[in-house]
Amino acid sequence: MADQAFVTLATHDNYARGAMVLGKSLRNHNTSKKLVALIGPQVSEPCQSVLRKIYDEVRPVDVLDSGDTAHLAMMKRPDLGVTLTKLHCWTLTHYSKCVFMDADTLVLSNIDELFDREELSAAPDPGWPDCFNSGVFVFCPSMETYGKLLQYCTEHGSFDGGDQGVLNGFFSNWATADISKHLPFIYNLSSIAIYTYLPAFKQFGSSAKVVHFLGKTKPWSYTFDITAKRITGSVPEASTHSTFLLDWWTLYSSAVVPMLHEHYGEQPFHSGCVESRCCDTVTFESVQDEGHSSHAQVSSQPELSSVERKEKWEQGQADYMGMDSFDNIKRKLDSFLK
């Protein structure tokens, strides 16, 4: 339907890259809906051009410049900058229903059925499941709701400092009122949940439809070795799952980077892709127990001593992606049991 759209937001070029990958992933899974990107004034011209190629509508939003109620709200609550920008999605009244998706989400299959749901439908947050996660939600644009949200924002602020706090405060009966507004978790699989409940992930992970790279380290925080098809850079957080991260980078490097090259032209830019030279990175293959080879595709930092490793464990920083991966732990247990 022409009056239904997926909507995302990018205030800067890095989130714009996320939005490009998200848009491509929606197109690859043949969505019949329109795609809308809200962008902040700091998104560069080349990134705007690429977004315009992928999205049906790229709409600049400058809360500071708007001179309207949002501007007033912003003057009262300057801390809520991005949040107020996100709430702008309710002003898209030329659509009757929309699905908002964070720019750090990736679509793994067609999710157009979300438009059968009503406002406000969202999936539980893995940290506090009586709150919904605001990375994916169904809403109905309305100036009236927008006005009320801004008012709520200025009066009550956000209990978590971001849009999720505001939206959960405003749609406060979500947890209890109507179960049909609870989206299954597979529509917003936070990468953080993978390791907090690994057996469930092993059982149900393959049915995930949307993965959400929630948290401070985003896919674009890493670099990607296009020759070896490996993620490189700083040690990946436990919260990020290598397969999904690799999916993101594969789509980004194959479909988005060529467009960025085209639009940056002679201007220098760093895509985040690198080409490996021999022995640039230490991979998990070199830190395996008992000669087993790893299937992890994420490079790590040099091997830790067992004391350092124990300390890391005690600090809750197990190397879930590498030495302490589920497969390795299982292998170790199996060898003890034998």
Q: How far apart are the first and last CA of the chain?
A: 59
> Which residue is at the shortest CB distance from ligand UDP?
102
Kindly state the helix (H) or strand (E) to which residue 39 belongs, with its residue range: strand 34-39
Q: Report in angstroms how near the CB of residue 190 gets to Mn ion at its nearest.
A: 8
User: Is residue 285 within 8 Å of residue 293, measured between CB atoms?
Assistant: yes
- Cβ at position 78, least distance to Mn ion in Å: 22
Sheet containing strand 223-225, edge to edge, reads 230-232, 223-225, 273-274
Nearest to 219 by CA among 247, 200, 196: 247
Q: How many Å separate Cα 78 from the centre of its chain?
A: 24
> b/e per residue, 31-47, with b = 16+ CB within 10 A?
bebbbbbbbbeebeebb
Kindly tell me which of 102 and 225 has the beta carbon lying closer to Mn ion. 102
Cβ proximity to ligand UDP, 218 vs 230, nearer residue: 218
The first and second tokens of residue 75, run together, are: 């003057």
Q: Which does 8 bind (CB under 5 to 8 A by kind): ligand UDP, Mn ion, none?
A: ligand UDP
Measured from the CB of residue 212, what is the shortest distance to Mn ion in angstroms? 6
Name the binder of 11 from Mn ion, ligand UDP, none, CB < 5-8 A by kind.
ligand UDP
Least CB distance to ligand UDP at residue 13 (A): 10
Question: Minimal distance in Å, beta carbon 266 to Mn ion?
Answer: 33
| Residue 15 partner contact from ligand UDP, Mn ion, none using kind-dependent CB cut-offs of 5 to 8 Å | ligand UDP
Residue 6 CA to residue 284 CA, distance in Å, equals: 38
256 binds, among Mn ion, ligand UDP, none (CB under 5 to 8 A by kind): none
Taking the mean position of all CA atoms in its chain, how far away is CA 62? 22
Pick 47 or 296: Cβ nearer ligand UDP: 47
Q: Decide whether 239 or 283 has the Cβ nearer to Mn ion.
A: 239
Using CB under 5 A as the criterion, which residues of the chain lie in contact with Mn ion when the complex forms? 102, 104, 135
Nearer to ligand UDP, 8 or 158 (CB): 8
Among 276, 271, 262, 196, smallest CA distance to 230 is for 276
Residue 77 binding: pick among Mn ion, ligand UDP, none (C-beta 5-8 Å cut-off by kind)? none
Nearer to ligand UDP (CB atom), residue 88 or residue 117 = 88
What is the residue-wise DSSP string for 248-273?
HHHHIIIIIHHHHHHHHTTS----SE
Q: What are phi and psi of 48, to 5 degrees?
A: -60, -40
State the minimum distance, in angstroms, from the CB of residue 308 to ligand UDP: 29
Question: Of Mn ion, ligand UDP, none, which one sits near residue 318, judging by CB under 5 to 8 A according to partner kind?
Answer: none
| Under 8 Å between Cβ of 187 and 137 | no
Task: List interacting residues with ligand UDP (CB under 6 A).
Answer: 8-12, 15, 82, 86, 102-104, 135, 214-215
Comparison of 15 and 115: residue with beta carbon closer to Mn ion: 15
Q: Out of Mn ion, ligand UDP, none, which partner does residue 12 contact, by CB within 5 to 8 A per kind?
A: ligand UDP
